[in-house]
């Protein structure tokens, strides 16, 4: 009869089991390597921030603030939020620690858990891991292209192919208001064809209507005015250069006039990267320029660009083609009797110091059970310490493939194993 499980993890929050942790580590290692090469330094901001930080930056009308924030009140009556994204906290930290006094641009990267109260589904969790790269303090479009290149480098190092880069410019405070006006007027003329959410968005966040997934809204959107026709000279020139740099870097892109990314702080370039044929899991990474964020947070100009990638989505792709390859131990240490167990504990430490991976089961008494364990691990050598061996100062070395057993002096066992592993 199966036992009823009393506790389960919270909806949308999952355990990272050893076989997935292997891929998490692999991604983190590659992210770190690429970050170091491009001159990024690591930053980790707290998981909790004042909720106001996100209200003001991500935007009151964004989905994140409207529906997806995990909020909590402290005993001191502060309203805090589990961070839903990494850019606003990084910019907060930039000003808090006066990084504007450092050599610009400041390049920072992070890797950690984020929280959004979304409907859990494929590729969408309530706690998920993101890594991100942010370049703060420089306005050159070359950096927009460089951020995109970094993600392509990362995916290529993880052997993730067939990437689709979608890119758009959403203008800035000079030209976006004109576009918004034209869009709102168009949407109002077709309001009866829109879903209830989009009806609300016309007033609160009209650009978000553009990435609504509802079929009937899609039809309205397909003939909507396009932002690229409304860009001011400055935004147009910036975007033209970004595209030229991407061409120079050999990064193919799709202009997607419907890509808006839904957060208030973006200006000019926005992008998302998908894997062809895997659109159903969503974007693997996304980002853009956010030149207005410094003004919102510290009333200071701070041109900046960045992007973030979703670890679980990348893990799901890696899991499909690679299997979990734990570094396999080749040696197993078995013991029989109390004196031998004591010696085995000590010997195990000596193997650790010699950096030889050894498995043991000092908690087991039966030699048969230990040998079964060793067999399941598929080790090449089993070392057996019994009471007699302890008295003699020896140890039995059993070669599992030939079945041959040899007695070795205890003080020689490490060098003997080293020699055998080297010759294998």
Nearer to ligand AMP, 26 or 364 (CB): 26
Residues that bind ligand AMP (CB under 6 A): 85, 116, 118, 123-125, 128, 130, 282-286, 308-310, 312-313
Tokens of 68: 């997806």
Residue 403 CB burial class (10 angstroms; 0-12, 13-18, ≥19): exposed
Give the pair of three-digit tokens for residue 92: 């907060």
- The CB-of-153 to ligand AMP minimum distance in angstroms stands at 17
Q: Select 130 or 394, whichever has its Cβ closest to ligand AMP.
A: 130
* Shortest Cβ 275–ligand AMP spacing (Å): 11
| Nearest CB to ligand AMP, comparing residues 12 and 257 | 12
By the 8 A CB rule, do 302 and 291 touch? yes
Q: Minimum distance from CB of 416 to ligand AMP (Å)? A: 50
As measured in angstroms, the least distance from the Cβ of 34 to ligand AMP is 17
CB of 365 to ligand AMP, least distance (A): 46
- Shortest Å distance, C-beta 123 to ligand AMP: 6
CA distances to 64, 114, 134, 244, 302 from 56, in Å: 12, 18, 19, 33, 16
Q: Is 396 in contact with 407 (CB distance < 8 Å)?
A: yes
The CB-nearest residue to ligand AMP is: 310
- In the complex, the smallest distance separating the C-beta of residue 268 from ligand AMP, rounded to whole angstroms, is 16
| CA-based R_g, the chain, Å | 28
> Considering beta carbons, is residue 291 or 312 the nearer one to ligand AMP?
312
DSSP class of residue 124 equals B
116 or 398: whose CB is closer to ligand AMP? 116
- Smaller CB separation from ligand AMP, 246 or 285: 285
Shortest spacing between CB 117 and ligand AMP, in angstroms: 9
Closest to ligand AMP by CB, 116 or 359: 116
Q: What is the DSSP letter of 9?
A: P
Shortest distance (Å) from residue 116 CB to ligand AMP: 5
Rounded Cα gap, residues 297 and 210, in angstroms: 27
* Stated length of the chain: 424
Please give the angle made by the CA atoms of 210, 226 and 276, to the nearest 5 degrees.
60
Backbone angles phi, psi at 92, to 5 degrees: -60, -45
Q: Report whether 414 contacts 395 (CB < 8 A).
A: no
Between 266 and 351, whose beta carbon lies closer to ligand AMP? 266
Residue 230 tokens read as: 């409304």
Q: What is the 3-state secondary structure (H, E, C) of 47-108?
A: CEEEHHHHHHHCCCCCHHHHHHCEEEECCCCCEEEECCCCHHHHHHHHHHCCHHHCCCCEEE
Q: Which is nearer to ligand AMP, 118 or 387 (CB)?
A: 118
- Candidates 286, 284, 311; CA nearest to 24 is 311
């Amino acid at each position: 009869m199966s036992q009823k499980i009393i506790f389960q993890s919270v909806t949308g929050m999952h355990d990272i089991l050893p076989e997935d942790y292997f891929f998490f580590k692999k991604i983190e290692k590659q992210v770190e390597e690429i970050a170091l090469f491009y001159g990024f330094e690591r930053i980790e901001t707290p998981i909790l921030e004042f909720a106001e930080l996100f209200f003001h930056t991500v935007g009151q009308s964004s989905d994140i603030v409207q529906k997806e924030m995990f909020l909590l009140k402290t005993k001191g009556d502060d309203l805090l939020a589990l961070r839903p994204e990494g850019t606003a906290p990084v910019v907060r930290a930039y000003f808090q620690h006066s990084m504007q006094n450092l050599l610009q641009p400041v390049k920072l990267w992070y890797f950690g858990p984020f929280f959004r109260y979304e409907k859990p589904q494929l590729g969408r969790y309530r706690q998920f891991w993101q890594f991100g790269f942010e370049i703060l303090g420089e306005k050159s479009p070359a950096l927009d292209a460089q951020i995109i290149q970094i993600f392509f480098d990362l995916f290529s190092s993880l052997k993730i192919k067939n990437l689709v880069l979608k890119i758009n410019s959403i203008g800035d405070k000079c030209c976006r208001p004109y576009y918004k006006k034209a869009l709102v007027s168009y949407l109002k003329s077709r309001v009866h064809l829109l879903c209830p959410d989009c009806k609300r968005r016309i007033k609160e966040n009209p650009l978000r209507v553009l990435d609504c997934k509802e079929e009937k809204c899609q039809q309205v959107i397909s003939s909507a005015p396009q932002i690229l026709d409304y860009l001011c000279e400055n935004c147009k020139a910036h975007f033209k250069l970004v595209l030229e740099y991407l061409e120079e870097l050999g990064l193919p892109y799709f202009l997607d006039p419907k890509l808006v990314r839904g957060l208030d702080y973006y200006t000019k370039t926005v992008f998302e990267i998908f894997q062809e044929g895997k659109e159903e899991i969503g974007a693997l990474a996304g980002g853009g320029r956010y030149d207005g964020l410094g003004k919102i947070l510290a009333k200071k100009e701070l041109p900046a660009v960045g992007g973030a990638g979703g670890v679980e989505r990348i893990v799901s792709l890696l899991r499909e083609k690679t299997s979990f390859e734990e570094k396999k131990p080749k040696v197993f240490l078995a013991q029989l009797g109390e004196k031998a167990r004591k010696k085995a504990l000590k010997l195990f430490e000596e193997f650790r110091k010699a950096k030889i991976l050894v498995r043991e089961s000092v908690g087991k008494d039966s030699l048969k059970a230990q040998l079964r364990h060793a067999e399941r691990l598929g080790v090449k050598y089993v070392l057996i310490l019994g009471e007699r061996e302890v008295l003699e100062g020896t140890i039995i070395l059993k070669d599992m493939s030939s079945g041959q057993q040899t007695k070795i002096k205890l003080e020689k066992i490490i060098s003997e194993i080293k020699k055998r592993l080297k010759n294998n």
